[in-house]
Amino acid sequence: MTEPEENVGILESNSFSMSRLDELDGNLHDLVARREALGPCYRLFYQHPLHLVRGRGTRLFDADGTEYLDMYNNIPSMGHSNPYVTRAVTEQLGLINTHTRYVHENILDYADALLARLPQEIDRIMFMCSGSEANDLAVRCAQLYTGGEGIIVTAEAYHGNTALISGLSPSIGRDVPMSRTMRMIPTPDTFRLGTEEIGEWMCARVSEQIADMRRHGIKFAGVLFDDIFSSDGVIPGTPGFLAPVVELVHKEGGLYLADEVQPGFCRTGAGFWGFERHGITPDIVTMGKPMANGIACSAMAIRHEVLDAFAAKNPYFNTFAGNPVAMAAAKAVLAYIDEFGMLEHTRVMGEKLLGAVGEVAKAHPALGDVRGSGLFMGVDIVEPGTTEPDRALAVRLIEQLRENRVLISLCGPYGSVLKVRPPLVFDDADLDFFVGALEKSLVELGK
Amino acid sequence: MTEPEENVGILESNSFSMSRLDELDGNLHDLVARREALGPCYRLFYQHPLHLVRGRGTRLFDADGTEYLDMYNNIPSMGHSNPYVTRAVTEQLGLINTHTRYVHENILDYADALLARLPQEIDRIMFMCSGSEANDLAVRCAQLYTGGEGIIVTAEAYHGNTALISGLSPSIGRDVPMSRTMRMIPTPDTFRLGTEEIGEWMCARVSEQIADMRRHGIKFAGVLFDDIFSSDGVIPGTPGFLAPVVELVHKEGGLYLADEVQPGFCRTGAGFWGFERHGITPDIVTMGKPMANGIACSAMAIRHEVLDAFAAKNPYFNTFAGNPVAMAAAKAVLAYIDEFGMLEHTRVMGEKLLGAVGEVAKAHPALGDVRGSGLFMGVDIVEPGTTEPDRALAVRLIEQLRENRVLISLCGPYGSVLKVRPPLVFDDADLDFFVGALEKSLVELGK
């Protein structure tokens, strides 16, 4: 089987190469050429990049007026250009937008609303601008509270871009040095492990890594897991399989850090938070992307006793974080979720989508595994009848889907898993359009 | 003389203590009490916190309708609730707000506009959400390019809140462990050194720390300086004094990192960037706070050869950074700067303000040193006729100024320097109001 090491990480799975600039025409060529000013770290999706100028709900429009169904972007979770969010931001910008050293209701109302949706043990919340900043602070809190430095993540995890968190994000790229006090467990690949009951397997892997830390004189501080393992390939597994893992982590003196940047905010349909599927109570919960539908906003929710260990020594201030405008946008997202019953909508649409794609897979065995929870699915593209990943086909499939006006991308250790993650306002018409385009694309590719 | 160690860092200079909660009344009491949900890291300005609900230009209004002149906040540099920014954000939110993996003009237009204002050697720019993220990446780039780890900062520097950058921010607090590869030079305190010609002094201090690094087996990577030394007490010094420092740093194989989060965007009146006062060309320039007038936005501008060392190994993606809405706000700020001639306005108003506060100091010797560039001033509060800082008076003065409807704060190693940093839309009426309130407050305090 292809080894994960041969791959290049999630950031490379679906990207344009500047060496192909000359293949682009006209205005697009000129715009892409101008991106040289941004330097070589920036990546564009697709071999023929998209120039998007407008969005509404689940739909995106390019400069030529072509309409696409967005099956990938989870930041505008309440829909592109959500008018509730626009109105809230505009109104607040017209009033005031200062920082948290003055009293303002927005941050308090929002903090109360989020804490009310979290287990009661998690009774403090702090705001940042990005999921990276939230994870950076969460790891430091866990380290100070436990007195340990050792953090365990999964082999294809991505948790952010700061110095500390890059070192805990193995999927960033094979050349990026990892933290010397970090240990990885393999991707909990239910498809290739042949079972969704992987709690015992996970516990064994975590135990091994704690033992390895001990051998190297590293004190265990905790695990940092995305509970649907988004960049590992979107792996829901059996609900509850993480419960014994949390128990083990606590027994070993560590903390359970739930990175809810992707599974949070109703995405999995099983609860407001992804971890609710497992009936667990994390020690720290981080969140970001969909929180404010695109306005920079993230947070770390935490047990007060864990935070106190950090706060005793460290002041913390974050200029833009929790400002009245970001909080107005975030409040609008919560209000939208409640008014339109987005959790239930996500659950219902997710079941329909899983069923429909499952049907497609019956006729197209290149779709080797179809799994998901809510509107978050992974579709493993394989050599038919095997578990052998077919990355080349996966890349051709997303390009073909783009021809058929569906935007989507890839993830997983082999870069071969379709990451299906539309805005949550996804509806029946979107479902029909997606399934039609998927079937058409597979037929066009002869699969 | 009071030792800097006795102080508690900039974050503590002017803050409310929750132990005094019972002294607050009514709605304010209830709102402040609710901040327990945010945990103990959050600080409020003033012994009696402010509940601000509206702002316009340089003015802020509390919940009781009381109007204040803002002499402190540099994020809304183009004025609170700037209508150009509100319009730009609203329009863009109604169109599209995705990420940098699709082509969009806003980021390209803005990148070009900023690079055109930077020295031509600095030819790449990347966007982040916060100044902390920008400095985090800048330091990693410097370390990868030089192969060194050693970074030199000033003794009261504040550069941000990530794990890496907290360790390079000694003013955060005396209990926060600093990076083991960081070295500090003393605050370049022109007032107490008795001269503004401190280039030679700075070179000697930097050389000492490079020698100390060598002794400890740490390879020098560079210096990270805010060129007006904002949290060290706002110290402009003689224009040009940093030129020999840059020369020394380069001779020693290091890079010069200019943290322009505070001095950038016309603040010093001497140029669009603070470093222009010194006629220097940094290797990396970071920026943030006023960039988008309050919408989260920051950036790192860099020489391509330095970035290439990082980019060769590290992909980098930042979810919200450089998105069309943040870039629309940032473009609106630049347009406002140009349309209203904000650089020249800042220079002219800064000279008037420096002159006027200088006059006040003649009659009130507690104002021991009045220094500044543009609309960024430090006023050293001392025991008259000495250089002995009078922190107690400084704290009473900002409280008295607040009674007289001026909002301002403190900085510097002794927490005794008035940090005068109004929105740049500060005008003659504001000047009269501030000077009147300053004189009145000093008289009321018997100084």
Residue B433, classed as helix, strand or coil, is helix
Q: In which band, very low, low, confident or very high, does the pLDDT at A1 lie, cut at 50, 70 and 90?
A: very low
Residue B65 at interface with chain A, using a CB cutoff of 8 Å: no
Task: Give me the pLDDT at residue B182, please.
Answer: 98
Residue A323 at interface with chain B, using a CB cutoff of 8 Å: yes
Residue B356 at interface with chain A, using a CB cutoff of 8 Å: no
Give the pLDDT confidence of B327-375 residue by residue, as tens digits. 999 999 999 999 999 999 999 999 999 999 999 999 999 999 999 999 9
Q: Which helix (H) or strand (E) holds B345?
A: helix B342-363
What are the chain B neighbours of A325 within 8 Å (beta carbons)?
294-295
In whole angstroms, give the CA distance from residue B428 to residue A265: 49
Residue A422 at interface with chain B, using a CB cutoff of 8 Å: no
Q: Which of residues 22-41 of A touch B (CB under 8 A)?
A: 28, 31-32, 34-35, 37-41
H runs (alpha helix) in A364-411: 391-403
Q: In which band, very low, low, confident or very high, does the pLDDT at A9 lie, cut at 50, 70 and 90?
A: very low
Contact predicate B271/B308, CB 8 Å: no
Query: Taking the C-alpha atoms of B282, B285, B290 and B294 in order, what is their torsion angle to the nearest 10 degrees?
Result: 180
CA distances from A320 to A93, A275, B289, B387 (A): 13, 28, 8, 36
By C-alpha distance, the chain B residue nearest A327 is B295
H runs (alpha helix) in A167-234: 190-193, 199-215
DSSP string, A280-341: ---SEEEE-GGGGBTBS-EEEEE-HHHHHHHHTT-----SSTT-HHHHHHHHHHHHHHHHTT
What are the chain A neighbours of B132 within 8 Å (beta carbons)?
133, 318
- As a whole number, mean pLDDT of residues A41-53 equals 95
Higher pLDDT, B349 or B175: B349
Residue B75 is classified by DSSP as T
Strands A182-185 and A150-154: parallel
CA distance B203 to chain A (A): 29
Contact predicate B53/A96, CB 8 Å: yes
In whole angstroms, give the CA distance from residue B220 to residue B148: 5
Say if residue A392 is exposed, middle or buried (CB neighbours under 10 Å; 0-12, 13-18, 19+). exposed
B67-76 in b/e form (b: 16+ CB < 10 A) is: ebbbbbbbbb
- Kindly determine whether residue B90 and residue A89, on different chains, have CB atoms separated by under 8 Å: yes
Give the pLDDT confidence of B61-111 residue by residue, as tens digits. 999 999 999 999 999 999 999 999 999 999 999 999 999 999 999 999 999
- As a whole number, mean pLDDT of residues A67-74 equals 98
DSSP string, B241-309: TTHHHHHHHHHTT-EEEEE-TTTTTTTTSSSSSGGGGGT---SEEEE-GGGGBTBS-EEEEE-HHHHHH
Give the pLDDT confidence of B390-440 residue by residue, as tens digits. 999 999 999 999 999 999 999 999 999 999 999 999 999 999 999 999 999
What are the chain B neighbours of A126 within 8 Å (beta carbons)?
38-39, 41-42
Position B152, amino acid: I
Task: Give me the pLDDT at residue A405, please.
Answer: 98
In whole angstroms, give the CA distance from residue B392 to residue B382: 10
Residue B11 has pLDDT above 70, yes or no: no
- Kindly determine whether residue A50 and residue B103, on different chains, have CB atoms separated by under 8 Å: yes
Smallest Cβ–Cβ distance between A73 and the set B98, B125, B139 belongs to: B98
Radius of gyration of chain B (CA): 21
Q: Which of residues 250-289 of A touch B (CB under 8 A)?
A: 288-289
Lowest mean pLDDT among A7-21, A55-69, A349-363: A7-21
CA distance A329 to chain B (A): 11
Q: In which band, very low, low, confident or very high, does the pLDDT at A13 lie, cut at 50, 70 and 90?
A: low
CA distance A92 to chain B (A): 9
What are the chain A neighbours of B138 within 8 Å (beta carbons)?
none
Contact predicate A358/A350, CB 8 Å: no
- Kindly determine whether residue B320 and residue A80, on different chains, have CB atoms separated by under 8 Å: no
Mutate which: A44, A316, A398, vs B, most B CBs within 10 A: A316
Give the pLDDT confidence of B40-63 residue by residue, as tens digits. 999 999 999 999 999 999 999 999
Q: In which band, very low, low, confident or very high, does the pLDDT at B4 lie, cut at 50, 70 and 90?
A: very low
- Kindly determine whether residue A102 and residue B52, on different chains, have CB atoms separated by under 8 Å: yes
Task: Match 């941004």 to its residue by tokens.
Answer: A38
Closest CA to A53 of B98, B26, B424: B98
What percent of chain A lies above the pLDDT cut of 90? Answer: 94
Q: Which of residues 85-114 of A touch B (CB under 8 A)?
A: 85-86, 89-90, 93-105, 107-108, 111-112
Helices A428-444 and A391-403: crossing angle in degrees, nearest 10, is 120
Closest CA to A258 of A240, A242, A239: A242
Contacts of B1 (CB under 8 A, 6+ apart): B192, B387, B388, B389
Residue B1 has pLDDT above 80, yes or no: no
Give the pLDDT confidence of A164-217 residue by residue, as tens digits. 999 999 999 888 999 999 999 999 999 999 999 999 999 999 999 999 999 999
Partnered with residue A262 across adjacent β-strands are none
DSSP string, A43-60: --SSSS--BEEEEEBTEE
- Kindly determine whether residue B75 and residue A140, on different chains, have CB atoms separated by under 8 Å: no
Residue B3 has pLDDT above 80, yes or no: no
Smallest Cβ–Cβ distance between A315 and the set B12, B95, B316 belongs to: B12
Residue A57 has pLDDT above 90, yes or no: yes
Phi, psi angles (nearest 5°) of residue B354:
-60, -45
Give the pLDDT confidence of B318-328 residue by residue, as tens digits. 999 999 999 99
What are the chain A neighbours of B15 within 8 Å (beta carbons)?
101
Smallest Cβ–Cβ distance between B81 and the set A94, A104, A312 belongs to: A94
Looking at every residue in chain B, the average pLDDT score rounds to 96
By C-alpha distance, the chain B residue nearest A407 is B102
Mutate which: A161, A174, A297, A305, vs B, most B CBs within 10 A: A161
DSSP string, B388-426: -B-HHHHHHHHHHHHHTTEE-EEESTTS-EEEE---TT-
CA distances from B250 to A324, B203, B246 (A): 43, 12, 6
What percent of chain B lies above the pLDDT cut of 70? Answer: 97
- Kindly determine whether residue B162 and residue A166, on different chains, have CB atoms separated by under 8 Å: no
Task: Give me the pLDDT at residue A233, please.
Answer: 98
ipTM confidence score: 0.96
Task: Give me the pLDDT at residue A175, please.
Answer: 87
Phi, psi angles (nearest 5°) of residue A414:
-105, 5
Closest CA to B129 of A332, A44, A90, A326: A326
Mutate which: A30, A93, A265, vs B, most B CBs within 10 A: A93
Q: Which helix (H) or strand (E) holds A438?
A: helix A428-444
What are the chain A neighbours of B295 within 8 Å (beta carbons)?
295-296, 320, 325
Residue B1 at interface with chain A, using a CB cutoff of 8 Å: no
DSSP string, A104-132: -HHHHHHHHHHHHTS-TT--EEEEESSHH
Looking at every residue in chain A, the average pLDDT score rounds to 96
Residue B7 has pLDDT above 70, yes or no: no
Smallest Cβ–Cβ distance between B94 and the set A86, A294, A302 belongs to: A86
CB pairs under 8 A between A and B: 325
What percent of chain B lies above the pLDDT cut of 90? Answer: 94
In whole angstroms, give the CA distance from residue B126 to residue B253: 24
Position B391, amino acid: R
What are the chain A neighbours of B320 within 8 Å (beta carbons)?
75, 129-130, 294-296
- As a whole number, mean pLDDT of residues A265-278 equals 98
Closest CA to B286 of B417, B102, B157, B100: B157
Q: Which of residues 141-180 of B touch A (CB under 8 A)?
A: 161-164, 166, 172-173, 175-176
What are the chain B neighbours of A9 within 8 Å (beta carbons)?
315
Mutate which: A319, A323, A325, A419, vs B, most B CBs within 10 A: A319
Q: In which band, very low, low, confident or very high, does the pLDDT at A63 lie, cut at 50, 70 and 90?
A: very high
Task: Give me the pLDDT at residue A10, please.
Answer: 45
- As a whole number, mean pLDDT of residues A262-280 equals 98
